[in-house]
Amino acid sequence: DCHWIKIRTNNPLERIMREIRRRTRVVGAFPDGQSCLNLAAARLRHIAGTQWSTRKYMNMAPLHAAKNEAFGAVVA
């Protein structure tokens, strides 16, 4: 049951959105929508290419073990 707390909140996604929002607020007014999209896409590429994307939010092994136990009990 401890995994439900982490599943309901999506802190990693919220952190990425806060980072993009922070970067776009610095600019203020964009000349067009494409330049805003370029800035957001560049930030996402940076996140995907650095250690941000390699961090593990949650260890899934206990969740998989519980699922396998429940599935084994249903079959047996």
Domain definitions of the chain by residue range: 3-75
pLDDT at 74: 62
Is residue 75 scored above 80 in pLDDT?
Answer: no
CB 8 within 8 A of CB 57: no
pTM of the prediction? 0.53
Model pLDDT for residues 21-72, shown as the tens digit of each residue: 998 898 888 899 899 999 999 988 888 887 766 666 677 788 888 888 877 7
Task: Please list the alpha-helical segments (H only) found in 1-76.
Answer: 3-8, 11-27, 33-49, 61-75
Among 4-8, 12-16, 24-28, 45-49, name the one with the lowest average pLDDT: 4-8
Q: Residue 10: is its pLDDT beyond 60?
A: yes
Q: What is the mean pLDDT of residues 2-31?
A: 78
- Residue from 7, 5, 35, 6 nearest 23 by CA: 35
The set of residues, in sequence order, having a beta carbon less than 8 Å from that of 27 and lying 6+ positions away, is 36, 39
